[in-house]
Structure 1
Amino acid sequence: MPHFDLFFKTEDLRRRLEPHLDLIPPYFRFTVRTGTPEVRFFDQKDPMWKGFPFPIPEGTIYVFDDEIPARALGGGMQNRASVRVTRADTDDEALVLRIWHEVLHAIGQPADDMAKRAGEWQSVSERLMWAAWQSLSRSLDVPFWHRKFYAWLTERAESGVGGR
């Protein structure tokens, strides 16, 4: 089971999001902290990543706010991740899904491949719903689909497929 030190930059972020962490399966364990871990910054010339703090210690997740000028919403690799919370983010459960997404990246799972791998993680009835959903010009980028895909990726990680 992967264990992460989960740092919330502020006590407000921690109070807001910690109650929803149970959306993430118990395969992932967290020691929740308030503060800033030791970080480095991605390419300062790339406007997407400029100012984006990324934890240095392995097994660390950092959740930060808009006071940091980065445009990227998250990044995860090599058993670490960072997640940005913007002023426009009002759905706390969606933010926890963003954390789950980056934690999956941190352990080497392809969290960006939801549509590409749809045939692998969907049941027949879900494939029908997926097709109907798209035929109505609905965005696939919604919590309903992300929860299902991330649960499948978590089961995949538990069984030792892909990642670490």
Structure 2
Amino acid sequence: MPHFDLFFKTEELRRRLEPHLRLIPPFFEFTVRTGTPEVRYFDQKDPMWKGFPFPVPDRTVYVFDDAIPARALGGGMQNRASIRVTREDRDDEALILRIWHEILHAVGQPADDMAKRAGEWQNMSERVMWAAWQSLSRPVDVPFWHRKFYEWLTERAAAGAGGR
């Protein structure tokens, strides 16, 4: 089971999101802290990542709310992840899914490949529902499908399956 030090930049963020961490399966364990871990910054010339803080210590996750010039909302790799909470983020479940998504990346899982891997993670009834959902021109980028996909990726990680 991967264990992460999960830093919330502010006590306000911690109070808001910590109660919802139970939505992430217990395969992932957390020591929850308030504050900022040692961070580094990605390529300062890349508008996607400019000013985006990323934790340096192994097995560290950082949730922050700074106004930064970067467009990225999250990043995860090599047992580390960083998640940005914007002023517009009102849905706490969606934020927990964002954290889960980046932690999956941190442990080498292809969390961006939900549609591409639909045939691997869906059972027959979910495939029918997925097709019907799309036939109604509904976006599949919703919490219902993300939860199902992330559950599958978590099971995959637990079984020791590698990344992409």
Q: TM-score, normalised by structure 1?
A: 0.98
Distance 2:70 2:29 in 1: 27
Q: Deviations over 1:68-115 (max 9, x none)?
A: 332100000000000000111110011000000000000000000000
Which consecutive aligned stretches of 4+ in structure 1 deviate over 6 angstroms post-superposition? Answer: none
Letter in 2 for 1:82: S
Distance 1:74 1:25 in 2: 19
Contact 1:60 1:79 in 2 (8 A): yes
Q: Look up the match of 2:4.
A: 4
Contact 2:47 2:69 in 1 (8 A): no
User: Number of aligned pairs?
Assistant: 163
Note the 1:1-164 alignment, pairs <5 A: 1-163=1-163
The percent of aligned pairs where both chains have the same amino acid is 85
The unaligned stretches of length 5 or more in structure 1 are none
The unaligned stretches of length 5 or more in structure 2 are none
Contact 1:66 1:87 in 2 (8 A): no
Distance 1:30 1:85 in 2: 19
Distance 1:68 1:17 in 2: 21
Q: TM-score, normalised by structure 2?
A: 0.98
Distance 1:66 1:7 in 2: 14
CA RMSD of aligned residues (A): 0.7
